[in-house]
Structure 1
Amino acid sequence: MIAPFVSVAELDRMRADAAHGKTTGAVPRVVVVDSRWYLDGRSGAEAYANGHLPGAVFVDLDTVLAAPPSAAAGRHPLPEPEVFARGLEAAGVGDDATVVVYDDAGGVIAARLVWMLRTLGQSAAVLDGGLAAWQQEHPEEALEAGEPAGAGGASPASRTVRSWPAAALATIDETQAAAADGTAIVLDARTADRYRGDTEPVDARPGHIPGAASLSCRDNVAADGTLLDTATLRERLTALGADRLPVISYCGSGVTACHTLLVLEQVGLPAGRLYPGSWSQYAADAQRPVATGE
């Protein structure tokens, strides 16, 4: 399995190897996925249509990578395995592919699909630096335009329906209890102002799960959207105890929290678990305590 983050140069080599068979064995097909999505309501599909990496397919967060939102489950609960499999199949992402996913947000949206695939045992990675990094490395190559392919419009693909492994997930009760008693490090991947409760643009209440620590996923990347160096990332995580205790990651809706989990793997720390419902589920339950401030 490839590393959780790959550079543009690494992607170029992978695509060249897949195209020309420059390996001693079977060469897996490389599928590049555009997973752009915007909290402010802009359309990721429209962004894809206006310009995407050559050969990339589009996978929609709201319909393929998440089940319908609800107060009981959160804004982006994990999709039913059948829905996930058929959605990726329609986009041309089969079981046999090596998948590289990009966005224009430092990889924090792309991380959702990458984490899902890696959790199911499939080789997948975030394109480090995303769309901007690719354009910088390929200044003479134009982006492709056009609407996302519908069912049957992408390259043929076949997917097996696989359930989400329970060992990779944490429930709302497990997360609340672990944050309170310190049996796990519960990391809040939202921006610090949302963690503190200074602002809450989308969910029912401001604040954070009592006992959780703030570690914004957006602080994992530099100004150009590329991942910070391994030593810096590892130091940030170990300072919070991620080398000593299990980690549970959450965010607003279980999307950007996946970036923290991929970073753990990238720097060689033990795998963490995702709390899929995240703050959108937790805050909607008025009976659960909320903390604010640092």
Structure 2
Amino acid sequence: MEAIITATELAHDLAGANPPVLLDVRWQLSVARAAGAPAFDGRAEYAAGHIPGAVFVDLDEELASAPGERGRHPLPDIAEFGAAMRRAGVSSGRPVVVYDGGQGWAAARAWWLLRWTGHPNVRVLDGGLPAWEGPLPTDVPTPPEGDFEPEPAEQGLLDADAAAALARSGVLLDARAAERYRGDVEPIDRVGGHIPGALSAPTTENVTADGRFLPAQELRSRFKGLGASEDTEVGVYCGSGVSAAHEVLALAVAGIPAALYVGSWSEWSADPSRPVATGPDPQ
């Protein structure tokens, strides 16, 4: 199953006999805003215009539970997540397409959660809303209740101990910016640095300037250079399990399965007993 869809393909599918459920997951990391700028409001952005038929999904409220010891964006309660998806019209027998404002991180988080909990057909709109050239209505649809019942997989999810072990036995990728990996800066979490043994692999290097993914072969070459392939056990983390989902998506485009450490650095660094590596080297 393909992990991404182009805007042209989406327009074709929306006009077909079994159009996908559309989820609008516009979201923005608060520290990315300029000082003094108003808070980003994804719901307001959605209300101002969205792809026809799309339903808004709140990342902080519906794709994560409250921040705490398990990180800034821990897994949502699975029953509550399922209820939210059914309200949005998600059913197991109907394809789903997710998009955001173009960065791709929030859409990837929704994609990963739906795939990990058993939905068989979920894709991310490559390039997000800016790639869409069709109308952007403001009406809010009321889709019929879906029937999706999430069933989390036994694989594909890492906790802190599993991430530490994978950094020694396989390939653990850090999807954050290189300066955060090195520990030069840390704008959010308790301390800067990375999980010992993890490799720096910023997810921003998986896309072009307009936010579209690099071709699959280029992504495969990039990940091969980091030691990641179809025959390698691969895991990814970031600050709070959002941009890392985007890297898991890039790996999927490249044909490489990978697990996600959802707690990520926000969980790891909150425990002073866990080791922290700094600088450009993994250890």
In the superposition, the TM-score normalised over structure 2's length comes to: 0.90
Pairing partner for 1:145 from 134, 138, 157: 138
SS of match in other structure, 1:166: coil
Aligned length: 270
Deviation (angstroms), 1:45: 1.1
Deviation (angstroms), 1:91: 2.0
Structure 2: unaligned runs, 5 residues or longer: 31-38
Pairing partner for 1:105 from 95, 98, 102: 102
Does the aligned pair in 1 maintain the 2:90–2:148 contact within 8 Å?
A: no
Q: Which residue in the other structure is 2:28 paired with?
A: 38
Once residues 159 and 236 of structure 2 are traced to their aligned partners in structure 1, the CA distance between those partners, rounded to angstroms, is: 11
Q: Pairwise mapping of residues 121-270 of structure 1 onto structure 2 (< 5 A)?
A: 121-135=119-133, 138=134, 141=135, 143-145=136-138, 154-179=142-167, 181=168, 183-243=169-229, 244-269=231-256
Q: Pairwise mapping of residues 1-12 of structure 1 onto structure 2 (< 5 A)?
A: 1=1, 3-12=2-11
Once residues 205 and 154 of structure 1 are traced to their aligned partners in structure 2, the CA distance between those partners, rounded to angstroms, is: 44
Once residues 14 and 236 of structure 1 are traced to their aligned partners in structure 2, the CA distance between those partners, rounded to angstroms, is: 31
Q: CA offsets, 1:232-252, max 9 Å, x none?
A: 111110111111421011111
Once residues 30 and 15 of structure 1 are traced to their aligned partners in structure 2, the CA distance between those partners, rounded to angstroms, is: 6
Q: CA offsets, 1:84-117, max 9 Å, x none?
A: 0111122222333211111123312200111122
Once residues 229 and 166 of structure 1 are traced to their aligned partners in structure 2, the CA distance between those partners, rounded to angstroms, is: 30
Q: Which residue in the other structure is 2:73 paired with?
A: 76
Once residues 105 and 11 of structure 1 are traced to their aligned partners in structure 2, the CA distance between those partners, rounded to angstroms, is: 15
Q: CA offsets, 1:70-90, max 9 Å, x none?
A: 0x2111111121110111122
Q: Pairwise mapping of residues 16-95 of structure 1 onto structure 2 (< 5 A)?
A: 16-18=15-17, 27=18, 29-40=19-30, 41-70=39-68, 72-95=69-92
Once residues 227 and 111 of structure 1 are traced to their aligned partners in structure 2, the CA distance between those partners, rounded to angstroms, is: 12
Once residues 11 and 38 of structure 1 are traced to their aligned partners in structure 2, the CA distance between those partners, rounded to angstroms, is: 24
Q: CA offsets, 1:133-181, max 9 Å, x none?
A: 113xx3xx3x2225xx5xxx721122343332121111101111221x2
Structure 1: unaligned runs, 5 residues or longer: 19-26
In the superposition, the TM-score normalised over structure 1's length comes to: 0.87
Does the aligned pair in 2 maintain the 1:54–1:144 contact within 8 Å?
A: yes
Aligned-residue identity in percent: 45
SS of match in other structure, 2:105: coil
Deviation (angstroms), 1:219: 1.3
